[in-house]
Chain A
Amino acid sequence: MIRLPWLLHDSRRWWAFTLAILLLGAGWTWLSRVPASVATVGQIPSPREGFPAPDFTLDTLGGESATLSAYRGKVVIVNLWASWCGPCRAEMPAIQKVYTANRERGLEVLAVNSTFQDSQADAQEFAQNSGLTFPILLDRDGAVSKRYLLRALPSTFFIDRKGVIRSVVFGGPMTEALVQTKIEALLQETP
């Protein structure tokens, strides 16, 4: 014959126990409600989903400078890459295709070259040979790579029109479909 533990054995005792546990849980849940003013997500710039993208200004291959926050209102892909990195080279044509197809819809690509561990000449040669038309930014001292906690090349950050990182892809190569699906919903959002 099955013998139930003392708590389960008596119906009233069990329901009293259940009620006490649930009331305790409900009380704790009520106590730990989140005031809007202390919500973490959306306030501190950090290189992860749900956070505002850390801002930066870098020189471009064309000799100008580009600032991420200047692109507020557009959907921005920040791609950290190096010319010696195979997956980075392999995914660039896909990024270029998506950029060409969606630029008019408000897409911008900032390809941040890890110049501190690459060479500007190699980056320029690769960009020219690949026919890349989006800005190639030069991270000469590694400050942006450090700010974005770079741990793998390539790393790609998809940023919405409000400057919030909505998704991150570590490694590659990304396919054209992957890049397009990551930006599609963001492009449909109103500026």
Chain B
Amino acid sequence: MFPVLQIGPLALPVPGLALLIGVWIGLWLAEIEAARLGIGPETVYNLAFIGIVAGLIGARLAYVARYLNVYASDPLSVFSLNPATLAPAEGVWIGVVAAVIYGARRQLPLRLTLDALVPAVAVMGVAVALAHVASGDAFGAAARLPWSVYLWDEYRHPSQIYELIAALGVLGIGWRARARGPFVGFNFLLVVALSAAARVFLEAFRGDSLVMIGGWRAAQVWGLVVLATGLGAMRYWGREAVS
């Protein structure tokens, strides 16, 4: 666990740094993949870039909207660089909507564009896992195993390492399959389905799960829904491609 890199007076949050590097590598790979698939690399780069920027701005605005009375008396704080004042879930939604609008306006083919974004999505999965390794978030359930790690005053499953291994596996499979997809959109659905399956499996070892009524872990239930959707879409898109 290494949450902060202190360089003189500067405290750099390592998880944020890992995500930033992930975004940078992801955008670079998206450009390369777009060129390989014959769609404008600049357009795909812009799509991802607009999604990220809109997501960040949206996350800040959503946070501000939540505490409008506070920011009304201190409006300049809206421009604070501190990531503690972001609303992440809202940011993701706003980023996705902005990217979809941009893609529709530039008439980008949906399935081909999704395929072009596969390496970027998979790399972001690795970056998120590295961010968790650095911060100690997404920690494991208490367990006494030869490979347990001592974290947060307890021996635990190294869930962050499990997550990293799974993310690297998804990246490897997604990367190898990118030139072999039987139809357009297959690689994207493959990465989505593998990521969802990994989440369903690995969530069982987490010690910080959001728990629903009956003790069901919310992430596993959502993972199953995404997995079912991905597998269903794989069949549907495959049939469409054949016909």
B108 at the interface (CB under 8 A from A): no
Interface hits, B167-201 → A, CB 8 Å: 182-183, 197, 200-201
Of A25, A26, A29, A181, which one neighbours B63 at CB under 8 angstroms?
Answer: A181
Q: How far is the CA of A164 from the CA of B21 in the complex (A)?
A: 33
Of A33, A44, A48, which one neighbours B217 at CB under 8 angstroms?
Answer: A33
List of A residues within 8 angstroms of B234 by Cβ: 8
List of B residues within 8 angstroms of A15 by Cβ: 235
**Contact in complex: A177, B80 (CB < 8 Å):** yes
A-B contacts, CB under 8 A, total: 141
Which A positions have Cβ atoms within 8 angstroms of B? 2-5, 8, 11, 14-15, 17-18, 21-22, 25-26, 28-36, 38-41, 44-46, 48, 50-51, 85-87, 151-153, 167, 169-171, 174-178, 180-182, 184
Interface hits, B123-164 → A, CB 8 Å: 136-137, 139, 141-142, 152-154
**Contact in complex: B11, A177 (CB < 8 Å):** no
**Contact in complex: A22, B136 (CB < 8 Å):** no
**Contact in complex: A46, B152 (CB < 8 Å):** yes
Question: Known: A22-B224, A178-B84. Is A8-B235 also a contact (CB below 8 A)?
Answer: yes
Binds A, one of B22-30, B50-58, B114-122, B203-211: B203-211
**Contact in complex: A28, B200 (CB < 8 Å):** yes
A33 to chain B: closest residue by CB:
B215
**Contact in complex: A41, B242 (CB < 8 Å):** no
Q: Within the complex, what minimum Cβ distance (angstroms) separates A106 from chain B?
A: 17
Which B positions have Cβ atoms within 8 angstroms of A? 3-4, 6, 9, 11, 13, 63, 66-67, 70-71, 73-74, 77, 80, 82, 84-85, 136-137, 139, 141-142, 152-154, 182-183, 197, 200-201, 203-204, 207-209, 211, 214-217, 220-221, 223-224, 227-228, 231-232, 234-235, 238, 241-242
Q: How far is the CA of A180 from the CA of B197 in the complex (A)?
A: 40
**Contact in complex: A8, B182 (CB < 8 Å):** yes
**Contact in complex: B204, A177 (CB < 8 Å):** no
Q: Within the complex, what minimum Cβ distance (angstroms) separates A6 from chain B?
A: 11
Q: How far is the CA of A108 from the CA of B66 in the complex (A)?
A: 23
Of B9, B182, B197, which one neighbours A25 at CB under 8 angstroms?
Answer: B197
Q: Within the complex, what minimum Cβ distance (angstroms) separates A153 from chain B?
A: 8
Q: Within the complex, what minimum Cβ distance (angstroms) separates A146 from chain B?
A: 13
Q: Within the complex, what minimum Cβ distance (angstroms) separates A157 from chain B?
A: 12
Q: How far is the CA of A74 from the CA of B221 in the complex (A)?
A: 36
A11 to chain B: closest residue by CB:
B235
**Contact in complex: B235, A169 (CB < 8 Å):** no
**Contact in complex: B182, A2 (CB < 8 Å):** yes
**Contact in complex: B152, A44 (CB < 8 Å):** yes
**Contact in complex: A40, B141 (CB < 8 Å):** yes
Q: How far is the CA of A109 from the CA of B200 in the complex (A)?
A: 41
Q: How far is the CA of A180 from the CA of B67 in the complex (A)?
A: 9
Q: How far is the CA of A36 from the CA of B4 in the complex (A)?
A: 33
List of B residues within 8 angstroms of A170 by Cβ: 3-4, 11, 13
**Contact in complex: A44, B84 (CB < 8 Å):** no
A171 to chain B: closest residue by CB:
B11
**Contact in complex: A175, B182 (CB < 8 Å):** no
B220 to chain A: closest residue by CB:
A29
List of A residues within 8 angstroms of B217 by Cβ: 29, 32-34
**Contact in complex: A22, B228 (CB < 8 Å):** yes
**Contact in complex: B227, A177 (CB < 8 Å):** no
**Contact in complex: A33, B153 (CB < 8 Å):** no
**Contact in complex: A8, B215 (CB < 8 Å):** no
Question: Known: A45-B153, A180-B70. Is A40-B224 also a contact (CB below 8 A)?
Answer: no
List of A residues within 8 angstroms of B152 by Cβ: 44, 46, 48, 51
**Contact in complex: B224, A169 (CB < 8 Å):** no
Q: How far is the CA of A28 from the CA of B197 in the complex (A)?
A: 11
Q: List 14 A-B contacts (CB under 8 A).
A: A4-B238, A4-B242, A8-B235, A17-B231, A22-B228, A29-B224, A31-B204, A32-B203, A34-B217, A39-B211, A40-B141, A48-B152, A171-B13, A176-B77
